[in-house]
Structure 1
Amino acid sequence: MPSLVPHLAAVIFVSALAACGEPSSQAAKAGPPPRPVLVKTVAYADRVTERSLVGTIRPRVETDLGFRVAGKVARRLVGVGDVVRGGQQLASLDEVDLGLQTEQAEAEARAAAASLRQAEADLVRTESLTSKGYSASASLDRQQAVTEEARGRLLRAERAMTLARNARSYAVLTADADGVVTATSIEPGQVVTAGQAAIRLARTNEKEAVVSIPESLLSLAKGRAAMTLWSNPGTRYEAKLREFAPSADPATRTYLARFSIPAADETVQIGMTATVTIAVPDRERVARLPLSALFNQGTGPAVWTVGTEGRPTLKPVDVAAYEAVEVLIGSGVEDGDRVVALGVSKLDPGQIVRVIEALQF
């Protein structure tokens, strides 16, 4: 019996080794689990070139208002930055001389009217005497001429009186529309001439974004534009090209473009800085993929595609352009192909993967 102990121990040891090695063999036969990969489905679309330009919010109409008559400034009622309404008084002139001119014109009109009444009465008497033979025909002709001259003097006097009254009304400068005062160039006591710029008024009913486009990007003028404010980047406004300069600025060699903002609200204030993004469609069709999908081992750019069997395949592609976070693929993959977006450096051609669809990049 004692001689059987060593043999029994050897059998137990061999059985234990066999039991320990059995799971390892099964694991080796099963292979590694499928690697999860994030994929994006290829979809070709027209290539759209976008460029962003910095602009400034300006009013469409900005007018220098001035008095229509000369005179001495009596009052200036507004300052820079004041919001005014149409018809509101902005400044006024001293009306003393204008009032005297109006009174003079009215007096001349009354005198001309009196002269006309006298001439008409004399004409009636002259006609009566001539019809009875007590007066010569020449006297009647002279009286008719005097009457016509009196009518002309009265008409001139009435027109002069109207002009004088108008000139007196021009002594008050009023806003011709709702807007904001952007500049003033007069002060009380200053003597101004007729038509001299006194107050600059920017109308607030129409606003636009003004940008400078370089010569190399003139095609952007035909694109679809949108605008965002630096102070409020989350709100996007539609913009439409209203005016494009026919020639370049001699100093900057850029073309001035004005984009109207139909939906501008009170948030859009004159003088704010804006970003105008212009999208120009291209005839080329491209597929947008994340930059992390590209794989290059020195033979050119390629991507991993996953078929229905769950095995990745490396396909060379033609890159149309690189952007900030995306790459534009011109060819090499087809619509509907599933391209691995992350972890491309850890894949092998014969490896089995588990697909996870990518929603956003």
Structure 2
Amino acid sequence: MPVAAHDLHAPSGAPRRLGAGLFAGSLVALAALLSGCGEQAPAQTQADAPQIVARPVQVTTVAFRPRDAEKTFVGVVRARREIDLAFRVGGKVVQRTVEVGDRVAAGDVVAHLDKEDLRLELESARAELAAATANLAQTTAEDGRYRSLTAKGAASAADLDRKSLAREEAVGRLERAKLSLELAENRLSYADLVADAAGVVVATSAEPGQVVSSGQTIVRVARLDEKEAVVSLPETALADARAADAIVSLWAEPGRRIPARLRELSPQADSTSRTYPARFSLEGADATVALGMTATVTLRPKEQQVVARLPLSAVIDRGHGPQVFVVDGASRTLAAKPVTIAAYTEDQVLVAAGVAPGDEVVTLGVQTLLPGQKVRTAQVPGTTTVAQTEVARTGAEARP
């Protein structure tokens, strides 16, 4: 299409108006762009700012207790003295007057033997005494006559010597007969078995009709004047048994406490159990403390150091002595505290000073911690003294 002449020759102000319009549009677009950028800039800056993340740690609550804990051992109540009663002569048991559990007093007869043979021995001894007495009288008379005859010269000195020796033999025979009679009387009295002290029968070993020998146990009597608690101790408790205070409690009376003292400790271990029998005398035990009751012996050290028990993993030494990390209750930050170690065990460290009761001490991962570091803890269900939390993670995992 042919272009009109007036289109080709436009006024000179038109290009200026077009350029001004384009420039204004560019400014509006730029302003909008800058406005959008200005609204997003603060969000970017907040996201890139460093965050302080509290590190999870495992802690335990400090509690001071005696260094050596009480040790308890279970045993039984026994009498200090148990006497095996036996006949001093042999024979046939015709009667036993006591049973297990019966109480006896001093002088009570607990068993009888058949006395017939013993009576015969007594009669024989009496007959022998009578014969010895008559023989002495005869020899004494003959000795007197021969002395008179010898003085008159009617008898020789040899005859007098024989009569004198016969008289001396008769004197000895009489003395022997007297002793035999006394022994026969004693043997007859031995047919009655008598208790020599008050006590309770704890065992019987013979029945009526049984023939027993001299010295064979018939009845065992436990004296009640002194009672003991008998326990078996391991070798690790021998020193405690000698030095510690002992308290005995009875299973039948849980609230009762009876003072006790070590009376006897076996110098040799039992070949089967490899333990050492120990006997603790009960002071002031009355009749309610029956023999055979179950007794618990508690050993309490007299004087001992008070310490806090912490895991070995809680202690760190970076060249300035042993330290532990304590969690501040308000700021929940860590503080390194030097501690005094009393002793080490297989899995624990005994702290004598440096921490206070109730302090929360970090127990794991202390090598990766720093003083002032923010931490968090949480109580684990089922624990009382340990405020455990999540298990300490590696440094890279817990680092923000």
TM-score (norm 1): 0.70
Instruction: Confirm or deny: 8 A CA contact 1:55 1:211 kept in the other structure.
Output: yes
- Taking a change above 3 Å as real, the CA distance of residues 301 and 133 of structure 1, as seen in their structure-2 partners, is farther
Instruction: Confirm or deny: 8 A CA contact 2:325 2:335 kept in the other structure.
Output: no
One-letter identity of the residue aligned with 1:262: E
- Post-superposition Cα deviations, 1:129-166, rounded to whole Å, max 9, x if no partner, equal 21122221111101100001101111111111111111
**Aligned partners of 1:83 and 1:288: how far apart in 2?**
53
- Taking a change above 3 Å as real, the CA distance of residues 53 and 305 of structure 1, as seen in their structure-2 partners, is farther
For structure 2, the 5+ residue unaligned runs are 1-62, 315-322, 344-348, 361-400
| Max Rg structure | 2
- Post-superposition Cα deviations, 1:220-263, rounded to whole Å, max 9, x if no partner, equal 22222111111112221111111111111111111111111132
- Taking a change above 3 Å as real, the CA distance of residues 301 and 225 of structure 1, as seen in their structure-2 partners, is farther
Instruction: Confirm or deny: 8 A CA contact 1:240 1:259 kept in the other structure.
Output: yes
How much is the aligned-residue C-alpha RMSD, in angstroms?
3.6
- Taking a change above 3 Å as real, the CA distance of residues 141 and 202 of structure 1, as seen in their structure-2 partners, is same
What is the aligned-residue identity percentage?
49
Structure 1 residue 127, shift from structure 2 partner: 1.1
**Aligned partners of 1:232 and 1:131: how far apart in 2?**
93
The answer for the alignment partner of 1:116 in structure 2 is 136
The answer for the alignment partner of 1:358 in structure 2 is none
Q: 2:70 aligns with which of 50, 53, 70?
A: 50
Q: 2:295 aligns with which of 274, 277, 285?
A: 274
Instruction: Confirm or deny: 8 A CA contact 1:301 1:318 kept in the other structure.
Output: no
**Aligned partners of 1:170 and 1:301: how far apart in 2?**
81
Instruction: Confirm or deny: 8 A CA contact 1:65 1:201 kept in the other structure.
Output: yes
> Which secondary structure does the structure 1 equivalent of 2:70 belong to?
strand
Q: 1:231 aligns with which of 223, 243, 252?
A: 252
Instruction: Confirm or deny: 8 A CA contact 2:307 2:342 kept in the other structure.
Output: no
> Which secondary structure does the structure 2 equivalent of 1:198 belong to?
strand
Instruction: Confirm or deny: 8 A CA contact 1:286 1:328 kept in the other structure.
Output: no
One-letter identity of the residue aligned with 1:228: S
One-letter identity of the residue aligned with 1:162: E
> Which secondary structure does the structure 2 equivalent of 1:55 belong to?
strand
Instruction: Confirm or deny: 8 A CA contact 1:185 1:197 kept in the other structure.
Output: yes
- Taking a change above 3 Å as real, the CA distance of residues 282 and 48 of structure 1, as seen in their structure-2 partners, is farther
Give matches, 1:1-361, under 5 Å: 47-222=67-242, 223-281=244-302, 285-286=305-306, 302=326, 330-333=352-355
**Aligned partners of 1:232 and 1:169: how far apart in 2?**
45
Structure 1 residue 62, shift from structure 2 partner: 1.1
One-letter identity of the residue aligned with 2:301: V
- Taking a change above 3 Å as real, the CA distance of residues 122 and 178 of structure 1, as seen in their structure-2 partners, is same
**Aligned partners of 1:46 and 1:96: how far apart in 2?**
71
Instruction: Confirm or deny: 8 A CA contact 1:50 1:279 kept in the other structure.
Output: yes
One-letter identity of the residue aligned with 2:228: E
Instruction: Confirm or deny: 8 A CA contact 2:324 2:336 kept in the other structure.
Output: no
Q: Mean Cα displacement is larger for which, 216-225 or 50-59?
A: 216-225
- Taking a change above 3 Å as real, the CA distance of residues 303 and 175 of structure 1, as seen in their structure-2 partners, is farther
> Which secondary structure does the structure 2 equivalent of 1:263 belong to?
coil
Instruction: Confirm or deny: 8 A CA contact 1:305 1:315 kept in the other structure.
Output: no
**Aligned partners of 2:203 and 2:123: how far apart in 1?**
35
- Post-superposition Cα deviations, 1:78-106, rounded to whole Å, max 9, x if no partner, equal 00000101110000001011001101101
**Aligned partners of 1:148 and 1:105: how far apart in 2?**
21
**Aligned partners of 1:45 and 1:170: how far apart in 2?**
63
Q: Mean Cα displacement is larger for which, 213-222 or 256-265?
A: 213-222
How many residues are aligned here?
284
- The structure that is strand-richer by fraction is 1
- Post-superposition Cα deviations, 1:4-37, rounded to whole Å, max 9, x if no partner, equal xxxxxxxxxxxxxxxxxxxxxxxxxxxxxxxxxx
TM-score (norm 2): 0.63
One-letter identity of the residue aligned with 2:283: P
- Taking a change above 3 Å as real, the CA distance of residues 85 and 156 of structure 1, as seen in their structure-2 partners, is same
The answer for the alignment partner of 2:14 in structure 1 is none
Structure 1 residue 176, shift from structure 2 partner: 1.3
**Aligned partners of 1:112 and 1:305: how far apart in 2?**
107
**Aligned partners of 1:167 and 1:226: how far apart in 2?**
48
- Post-superposition Cα deviations, 1:246-294, rounded to whole Å, max 9, x if no partner, equal 11111111111111113211121110011101123565x32689x9xxx
- Post-superposition Cα deviations, 1:154-196, rounded to whole Å, max 9, x if no partner, equal 1111111111111101000011111111111111111111111
